[in-house]
Amino acid sequence: NITINGILCDGLKTIFKYFDTEQYNYFNPKYLSPIHGDLTLENIMVCEEKNDIKLIDLDGGDFIDAIELDFGKLFQSTLSKYELWSNDEPIINIDYDNYIIDTKEYISSSELINFIEIFYQWKEILEIDDNVKLFRVGIFYMIIHLFRMIPFRYKCSENQAIYSIKEIIYWYNYLTQIQ
C-alpha cells in the first residue's frame, strides 16, 4: 500500500493483479471505429465567433481503434489535468521508507461532483446508460494512457513520471471504489 496525499491506496501490485481478472473484461471495447488517437484539450481548437471546432494532431494513434481510447484521452485532460502537471513540478514530498507521497492537487472534490455531466454525449457514443459506468470507463482508459506515457514523462522529468504513476494508483483506487 501507499499513502497519497493522506489517502491510503492499493499499490501497483494490486493494480496489475486487477488487470489479470475477469473484472477487467467489463472494460473491453464494444467495437472499433475511426478515432482521433490523441483527443486531448490541447488538440481541440474552438472558434466561438464562427461556432466552429477543429481537431488537430490527428496522427496520435491508429486510425481504427477503440473509441474508448479517445474518451480516456479527454479524461486525461479534464480529470487528471495532464496539461497542467506536465508543465509543472507536481511532487511536493516523497517518503520512500514509509510509502508516502504528497503532490499538488489539480482537481478539487467540488469539481468531481458534476464532472461526468460534461460528457453526457459520450453516453450515446459508448452505448452506456449510467453515469457511474461512464465515469468508470473514462477512468479506466485514462489509466491506460497514463501507463503508456511513463517512459516519455521520465525523459522529461523523473518527477513527472512519478506523478503519472501516482495518478494511476490514485484513480485506480477511485475506480474500484465507485460502483
Assess whether pLDDT exceeds 90 at residue 106.
yes
What pLDDT digit, counting tens, does each position of 109-118 carry?
A: 788 877 888 8
Predicted local distance difference test score (pLDDT) of residue 87? 92
Q: Are 129 and 123 in contact (CB under 8 A)?
A: yes
Predicted local distance difference test score (pLDDT) of residue 60? 66
Q: Which residues lie below 8 Å from residue 171, measured CB to CB, with a gap of 6+?
A: 79, 80, 139, 142, 143, 146
Q: What is the DSSP string of 86-120?
A: TTS--EEEEETTTTEEEE---S-HHHHHTGGGGGH
Average pLDDT of the residues in 139-168:
95
Distance CA(26)–CA(131), nearest Å, equals 15
Predicted local distance difference test score (pLDDT) of residue 62? 77
* pTM of the predicted model as reported, rounded to 2 decimal places: 0.91
What pLDDT digit, counting tens, does each position of 18-71 carry?
A: 777 777 778 999 899 999 989 898 999 999 999 999 999 887 677 899 999 999
Distance CA(59)–CA(37), nearest Å, equals 7
Query: How many alpha carbons lie under 13 Å from residue 179 in its C-beta half-sphere?
Result: 2
